[in-house]
Amino acid sequence: MAKLDEMLAAALRDLAAEAPALPPLSPRARRRIRARRSAAIAASVMVVAAMSAGVVIGAHALARPAHPQVSPHHLATAYVPTAYVLGGSGTVTPIRIATNTALRPIRLGKRRSPCAIAITPDGKTAYVASYGPGPAFLGTVTPIRTATNTALRPVKVGPGPCAIAITPNGKTAYVVNQPADTVTPITTATNTALPPIRVGSRPLAIAITPDGKTAYVITRGSVARCPHTVTPIRTATNTALRPVHVGGCPLAIAITPDGKTAYVADDSQVTPVRTATNTALRPIKVRQIPAAIAITPDGKTAYTVNFAGRRGVTVTPIRTATNTVLAPVTVGPTFPQQLPAIAITPDGSTAYVITNAPGLTHQDAVTPIRTATSTALPPITVGRGSCAIAITPDGKTAYVTNMTSGTVTPIRTATNTAQRPIEVGRGPCAMAITR
Amino acid sequence: MSDSSAGDRLGALYARHGPDALRLAYLLTGDRELSEDLVQEAFIKVAGRLTALRRADSFRWYLRRTIVNLANSYLRHRRVERAYAKGLIGSAAGAGVSSPDMATKHAVREAIAQLPARQRAVVVLRYYEDLTDQQIASVLGWPLGSVKSSLYRATAILREHLGQEE
């Protein structure tokens, strides 16, 4: 059977061919267009006249709304453990881990949509990828000095950046530009962009091996160019190697801590890729549709979060030594509003998965899973539209961003209890924590 | 600028962008008459608001966005979901389900028609208009995460509906 995306593209093409013929533009429509244009010109003339007369128009529209729950101590001291949360209104909000307080948000610029963040291993700089409004979607990466929480001059990258990763030595950040089918390397020492590297069609995520030698970019393909691939990039020369084909449309990638295998979760299976030879091994059928993947710190088990239809959300453990699937664990009744996410504590004892809260419409929860026994613990209700989860390096707290609620919920991992949500402004999404 | 030359330019703009807009409107609504009305309405809004659109891709961009917004608004307020499903499935049936290939086509149409309007819009923008996630987010005015989530959910539902295993 043809791949699902090819079938959908073909069906929509056929259907579009059945659309009616374009009717002529009616005289009434022409009149309405002319009237609107005249009104627009008249309005612009009035604005110019008013401004030249010194009238301030719409000053209230320029006033920035007060940010809720901002700590008066807005300047972080050097390398205090901090979580950086990307917001929907072009901001990055630092959260001080020790006190669970939001600091003053860092503004990226008007009408910018932040979408991905990565922090250098030394914790000194956070790199935030964002894009401007359409149709150009001009992409930039803003370095943020974490000692002072100040934004440095943005680095121009390709259009519509959607993912970012930094090499373990902290020297290069790689930014994925989905509309341009490229990856832009940034030298962190000088914050300058190097020439973009062409990868497969519609790249969407990136992961770098622990030795820093290879970056793997998953590409989902476009309607014209369908192949689903993972493209390896040799970081020493910043050159793309031959793409490795995987089965379905890839959604997520994770690399084992020993760097030997990259696991690519697509919409029907998980494909292990041997990094030494860049060859795809036999796909692992998880029998459900994986949306996210994470690997334990000891590298022994990979966990996929899956959509299981009427059975809700499941987590499937995969034994990496044999690439075999263990019994799936049911973690939630229905799919959360956003894509489910998973994070594993540094000691590997617990995996935290975002799910829908049982019995509560539009309310999300986090379900802890004891990895030793593959058992789900009672879900912890968080906020609405939960979309990202990150765990502090000491493993004591998991933070969950709630896009619809505009909050971040800290979870104490020792007791698996939610703390008071932290207000961070509109639409928080991605997040990263300093080491 | 004379009125007639402005009128000719308007006609040329309509002839250039109208057919694509009409196909998009038809895919979103599944209703021939409604899609014709939507295109005229969207064209009035965009051509009337933007007096100096020099770049053709900008005009196309705003026209596409307006079509999607209008279609969503109609589907939300007038509850024409059933009409959509009926129209699409009907047109597939009309073509005759005479071979395994046609049966598959019919099943895919039926699956698309049964998606909720929001998910169908994401699927059309992704698999027909071939937009990136950011472009879809901008057209729909949604956060990027919501686009990814809706696309994933729609794909999962379609795969389940079609009983597809690779």
The mean pLDDT value for A69-93 works out to 70
Q: Which of A4, A32, A179 sits opposite B134 (nearest CB)?
A: A179
Q: What are phi and psi of A117, to 5 degrees?
A: -145, 145
CA angle A222, A318, A434 (to 5 degrees): 75
What CATH number belongs to A302-422?
Answer: 2.130.10.10
* pLDDT tens-digit readout, B6-49: 557 778 888 989 999 999 999 998 888 889 999 999 998 888 77
Whether A45 has its CB under 8 Å from any CB of chain B: the answer is: no
* pLDDT for residue A65: 37
CA angle A22, A24, A27 (to 5 degrees): 150
Contacts of A293 in chain B (CB under 8 A): none
DSSP A284: B
Q: What are phi and psi of A15, to 5 degrees?
A: -65, -40
Whether B20 has its CB under 8 Å from any CB of chain A: the answer is: no
Q: Is A23 exposed, middle or buried (0-12, 13-18, 19+ CB in 10 A)?
A: middle
How far, CA to CA in Å, does B106 sit from each of A269, A415, B93? 26, 52, 7
Residue A322 has pLDDT above 90, yes or no: yes
Alpha carbon distance B5, B97 (integer Å): 50
Whether A43 has its CB under 8 Å from any CB of chain B: the answer is: no
Alpha carbon distance A207, A174 (integer Å): 9
Tell me what the pLDDT averaged over chain B comes to: 79
* pLDDT for residue A238: 98
A381, A342, A388: which is closest to A362 by C-alpha? A381
Is residue A210 within 8 Å of A259, Cβ to Cβ? yes
* pLDDT tens-digit readout, A186-223: 999 999 999 999 998 899 999 999 999 999 999 988 77
The mean pLDDT value for A60-89 works out to 57
Which residues contact residue A1 at a Cβ distance below 8 angstroms, ignoring those fewer than 6 apart?
A7, B104, B164, B166
**pLDDT confidence bin for B72, thresholds 50/70/90:** confident
Contacts of B105 in chain A (CB under 8 A): 10-11, 14
Which residues contact residue B104 at a Cβ distance below 8 angstroms, ignoring those fewer than 6 apart?
A1, A7
* pLDDT for residue A49: 55
**pLDDT confidence bin for A311, thresholds 50/70/90:** confident
The mean pLDDT value for B75-99 works out to 55
CA angle B109, B114, B115 (to 5 degrees): 105
Candidate from A402-411, B46-55, B124-133, B144-153 with smallest mean pLDDT: B46-55
| Look-up of token digits 């829908």 | A356
Computed on alpha carbons and rounded to an integer, the radius of gyration of chain B in Å comes to: 18
Q: In what helix (H) or strand (E) does residue A38 lie, and over which residues does it extend?
A: helix A27-52
Residue A72 has pLDDT above 50, yes or no: no
**pLDDT confidence bin for A355, thresholds 50/70/90:** confident
Nearest CA in chain B to A40: B49
Whether residues B26 and A20 touch (CB distance < 8 A) is answered with yes
Candidate from A61-65, A157-161, B70-74 with smallest mean pLDDT: A61-65
* pLDDT tens-digit readout, A18-57: 898 998 888 888 888 888 877 766 665 554 455 455 443 3
CB pairs under 8 A between A and B: 187
Percentage of the residues of chain A whose pLDDT score is greater than 70: 89
CA angle A373, A375, A381 (to 5 degrees): 145
* pLDDT for residue A274: 97
* pLDDT, greater one: A116 or B76: A116
Residue A74 has pLDDT above 60, yes or no: no
Listed by start position, the domains of chain B span: 1-79
* Distance between A164 CA and the closest CA of chain B, angstroms: 15
Instruction: Find the distance separating the first CA and the last CA of chain B, reported in whole Å.
Output: 60
Collapse the DSSP code of A134 into the 3-class scheme (helix H, G, I; strand E, B; otherwise coil) and give the result: coil
Contacts of B36 in chain A (CB under 8 A): 20, 23
**pLDDT confidence bin for A58, thresholds 50/70/90:** very low
Alpha carbon distance A271, A252 (integer Å): 11
Q: In what helix (H) or strand (E) does residue A410 lie, and over which residues does it extend?
A: strand A407-412
Alpha carbon distance A153, A142 (integer Å): 7
Whether residues A16 and B27 touch (CB distance < 8 A) is answered with yes
* pLDDT, greater one: A49 or A167: A167
How far, CA to CA in Å, does B105 sit from each of B112, B116, B127, B162? 11, 19, 15, 11
* pLDDT for residue B4: 52
Q: What are phi and psi of B9, to 5 degrees?
A: -65, -40
CA angle A205, A207, A275 (to 5 degrees): 120
* pLDDT for residue B73: 83
Which residues contact residue A33 at a Cβ distance below 8 angstroms, ignoring those fewer than 6 apart?
B10, B43, B44, B47, B48
Alpha carbon distance A43, A40 (integer Å): 5
Q: Which of A1, A5, A135 sits opposite B57 (nearest CB)?
A: A135
Q: What DSSP line would sit under A289-339, residue for residue?
A: EEEEEEE-TTSSEEEEEEE-GGG-EEEEEEETTTTEE---EEEESS--SS-
Alpha carbon distance A392, A380 (integer Å): 18
CA angle A285, A287, A290 (to 5 degrees): 85
Alpha carbon distance A228, A247 (integer Å): 7
Listed by start position, the domains of chain A span: 302-422
Output the six-digit token pair for B38: 């939507």
**Mutation site for A-interface testing, chosen from B135, B152, B153 by largest number of A Cβ within 10 Å:** B152
Which residues contact residue A411 at a Cβ distance below 8 angstroms, ignoring those fewer than 6 apart?
A352, A366, A380, A382, A397, A398, A399, A400, A417, A418, A419
Collapse the DSSP code of A124 into the 3-class scheme (helix H, G, I; strand E, B; otherwise coil) and give the result: coil
* Distance between B42 CA and the closest CA of chain A, angstroms: 10
* pLDDT for residue A237: 98
Tally the residues of chain A: 435
Residue ranges in A123-247 assigned as alpha helix (H): none
Whether residues A23 and B36 touch (CB distance < 8 A) is answered with yes
